[in-house]
Structure 1
Amino acid sequence: MSIRLSHLLSLTLLVSVTLPLAAQQTKPKPEDTEVWEPVPQVVTPGATCGAPPSDAIILFDGKNLDEWVSAQDHTPAQWTVADGIVTVSKSAGNIETKRKFKDYQLHVEWKIPENITGSGQARGNSGVFLASMGPGDAGYELQVLDSYNNKTYVNGQAGSLYKQAIPLVNANRKPGEWQSYDVVWTAPTFNADGSLKTPAYATVFFNGVLVENHFELKGQTLYIGKPFYKAYDSAPIKLQAHGDHSEPISFRNIWVRELP
């Protein structure tokens, strides 16, 4: 056997031995993609569907309005509390939380009276303002309305982010039945000069049905005109008394979880 042939056979043998070893060394393992820290905080879910979890801030538990003030002048809220629910008082105006929030998960239940009258926007009109900007500004409104069998503009029906986001479906229950909103709110952020850094997003489940899927808002939800952003840091959550268009709408079981 020539020296050249012997060298070639030795090289072939070396390659045949090292290739399986290299394959074994580079083969991925389950442990390569396992992450063990940081360990998520333990949160105990509510005992029943809609009940607040262990880390929730209770905004209304049926007993009092200690967490709320008048949105106009920050005096104690004067809506009517009875039988575990709070009912809109037109004369008392809007109410908002004493606390201010940025990003959060919100649960709120509401009911349109069974004997509701009127039509369109004059049929049980209220709103959950995901960020209340004060008496002179519109804020960011999730519409409350009887839309069970009531025709109106679709970006103003229940489940809409008012005048911006049309609900994906109409998930309304009949007047007289309790309804629920579950919201994930990502607040807008702003640069030092007040210009927009990142927009607001909202995801909304209406009676357990997805109606707004991480919708990007274009600014505050105006009644007239195009939406725009105005810089803020954190803001209260507001419930609306819609003046002459309001019926005695009721709310219960309101809680919020602040998100990191």
Structure 2
Amino acid sequence: MRFYPLILVSLLACSTPPQQAETTVTPEPEAITPPTYSPLNALTPEEEAEGWSLLFDGESGQGWHTFGKDSLTGWEIADGELRTPGNKGDIVTDETFADFELYIEWKISEGGNSGIMFHVQEGADYTYTFETGPEFQIIDDEGYESPLDNTQKTGANYALQAPTVAAAMPVGTYNTTRIRVWKGKVQHFLNGQMVVTYKQDSPEWEAIKNKTKFKDMPGYAAFSSGHIALQDHGDAVAFRSIKIRPL
């Protein structure tokens, strides 16, 4: 029995194929999951070292403007929250981002509807944020006024892919969301659980998109960089601790 390992090693050595030339592959950055609730509108020393930056300081709307306008209008900054009572318009970051990790905390009102979008474009060609930006759906899953398809529930890649897990907190409670975009690969995390993953422009993704209203929007998910958008769908919603790490 003691000789078997030596025989096995010899056989493995004889069967090892010749080495092939190495190819250079850009490694995907390691995913970093922030705490369940981050320090309110602040970065930890570890997050600063990892390259995170705040998109909302809890005291001003600096860094944001209403979609299609030069400044932020209608939204309120109070109690450390960036919030809208509804019907004030979507807002977008002043900066644009390509590959990134976004962390954000939010709470929706009873019966409310909202969303987070990325790679959003502005200009004369676009009237709405959803014409270009894929959306992380935010909604009152249980209390919305109309029946919801699974692709319309919280955490979904709106209208395209349903979340794999129902992970939303009760209405009025803060949820954590992380959106990770890396070379066309998109992941949605809700309260620490990955609920959606997809690859933009893959045959599977294209087939799904072509069955939705987005098939008639040539700018939808067509850009590799753009603004982050927070949607005002006509209902009260609040956001806080918004931070991003470019990849």
TM-score, length of structure 1 as denominator length: 0.66
User: Which residue number in structure 2 is paired with residue 161 of structure 1?
Assistant: 157
Larger RCO: Structure 1 or Structure 2 (Cα < 8 Å, ≥ 6 residues apart)?
A: 2
Q: Which moved more, 1:164-173 or 1:227-236?
A: 227-236
For the 8 Å contact 1:148–1:173, the answer to whether it is kept is no
The one-character-per-residue Cα deviations of 1:204-242 (angstroms, maximum 9, x if unpaired) are 110111101345443989973527653435211000111
Which of 196, 215, 227 lines up with 1:226 in the alignment? 215
For the 8 Å contact 1:128–1:144, the answer to whether it is kept is yes
Separation in 1, partners of 2:170, 2:224: 38
Residues 1:242 and 2:236 aligned together: no
User: Which residue number in structure 1 is paired with residue 166 of structure 2?
Assistant: 170
Gaps of 5+ in 1: 1-22, 28-40, 117-122, 188-199
Residues 1:142 and 2:131 aligned together: no
What amino acid maps onto 1:242 in structure 2? H
Aligned in 2, Cα 1:234/1:220: closer, same or farther, shift over 3 Å? Answer: farther
Separation in 2, partners of 1:82, 1:208: 26
Of all paired residues, the percent bearing the same amino acid is 26
Aligned in 2, Cα 1:160/1:227: closer, same or farther, shift over 3 Å? Answer: farther
For the 8 Å contact 1:110–1:250, the answer to whether it is kept is yes
For the 8 Å contact 2:160–2:212, the answer to whether it is kept is no
Separation in 1, partners of 2:92, 2:209: 17
User: Which residue number in structure 2 is paired with residue 16 of structure 1?
Assistant: none
Number of aligned residue pairs: give it: 203
Separation in 2, partners of 1:78, 1:250: 13
User: Which residue number in structure 2 is paired with residue 128 of structure 1?
Assistant: 116
User: Which residue number in structure 2 is paired with residue 76 of structure 1?
Assistant: 72
Which of 98, 108, 113 lines up with 1:112 in the alignment? 108
Separation in 2, partners of 1:89, 1:235: 26
Higher gyration radius (CA): 1
Separation in 2, partners of 1:257, 1:227: 32
Separation in 2, partners of 1:57, 1:222: 37
For the 8 Å contact 2:136–2:157, the answer to whether it is kept is yes
What amino acid maps onto 2:78 in structure 1? A
Residues 1:255 and 2:243 aligned together: yes
For the 8 Å contact 1:101–1:236, the answer to whether it is kept is yes
Separation in 2, partners of 1:58, 1:204: 20
User: Which residue number in structure 1 is paired with residue 89 of structure 2?
Assistant: 93
For the 8 Å contact 2:36–2:192, the answer to whether it is kept is no
Aligned in 2, Cα 1:220/1:180: closer, same or farther, shift over 3 Å? Answer: farther
Separation in 1, partners of 2:193, 2:33: 20
User: Which residue number in structure 2 is paired with residue 179 of structure 1?
Assistant: 175
User: Which residue number in structure 1 is paired with residue 22 of structure 2?
Assistant: none
For the 8 Å contact 2:87–2:233, the answer to whether it is kept is no
Aligned in 2, Cα 1:202/1:233: closer, same or farther, shift over 3 Å? Answer: closer
Aligned in 2, Cα 1:87/1:183: closer, same or farther, shift over 3 Å? Answer: same
For the 8 Å contact 2:151–2:159, the answer to whether it is kept is yes
TM-score, length of structure 2 as denominator length: 0.70
